[in-house]
Structure 1
């Protein structure tokens, strides 16, 4: 009887010890997985924002080119064009200002670390606004 109880106690102790070790190992593995996941998310986020910075650079480049074109037309319009053409230029230049504002919004979202969806949304808005400004310039040239 004593031997049976002693055996039962040993088996129970051993089982509890094994379960404790398994729980400790599982906890360590869980924390290792969470740490690895957090690190890989940070790397992925860095890659995504790198692409967004490339888009921002392209937008700034396109804006600079467009601004130069607007400035060259401005000289022609200011040299004695009709009031109607001057008003059309002002309306077109307003679209250029909106484009610069949209690009600045993208820059702001990137510098403050906004989420990828917000940054991508602002990039798309800036691209659309850039197309509107290009179309306004084209319309203005056709009126000249």
Structure 2
């Protein structure tokens, strides 16, 4: 009878660790995808939003703020590869001179491990990623 108790305990422990590992990997993949998506989206948006005419004439880099915001939203939606959970994107600051873009994104997932271990029902996990891009001049004299 003792052997069945140890077998049951070992089986329960194995299932528990398997669910924990799967939940941890899901959150890890979501965090990695979120970080990569917001980084690529913000860099590509800054590249698209540069005012080339002003860069040629005044030798100064400025960006079109409306194009930067629209481009970062589109690029973020296009670069997402992990579709579990809800994804949110916040554009905090856009500046034309100096060219700056501050973006934060986060993903909310339901974790099966927290669903088992937390009896209150709060089983949401959140991953956040921030990206701030500022173009600065190396020299102050043109």
TM-score when scaled to structure 1? 0.39
Higher RCO, 1 vs 2 (CA within 8 Å, ≥6 residues apart) = 1
Higher strand share: 2
Higher helix share: 1
